[in-house]
Amino acid sequence: MRILVLFDLPVVKKEDREKATKFRNFLINDGYEMLQFSVYSRIVNSVDATKKHLLRLERAAPKLGSVRVLIVTEKQYSDMIILRGKNTVREKKLNTDQLVLF
């Protein structure tokens, strides 16, 4: 399974920029990979792990702005169509047959 985090956070004020940066750093430190500027993805191996990460996301998300979470299977994720750009190096290394179990 994959957790996709999509967000749009205010960055006009210095305080808001700091909160947005803190949230992005949280995502990176928690094992998420940036797909696009405000879209991050993370592999999870069970429903329980998904619940755990949803709670962590809820605590880390800034109060202002929009943060959305989409949970998809690896099959659904691998069916993603890329219209422009390329797969990241990590996406090329890891396909649906090579899921790493923790």
Question: For 13-71, how does the pLDDT look when each residue is reduced to its tens digit (9 = 90+)?
Answer: 999 999 999 999 999 999 999 999 999 999 999 999 999 999 999 999 999 999 999 99
Look at the chain and report how many structural domains it folds into.
Answer: 1
pLDDT at 99 over 70: no
Domain carrying residue 49: 2-98
- Predicted confidence at residue 102, as pLDDT, reads 43
- Predicted confidence at residue 53, as pLDDT, reads 97
The CATH number of the domain holding residue 71 is 3.30.70.240
Contacts of 31 (CB under 8 A, 6+ apart): 42, 43
The pLDDT confidence band at residue 85, using thresholds 50, 70 and 90, is: confident
CA distance 73 to 90: 17
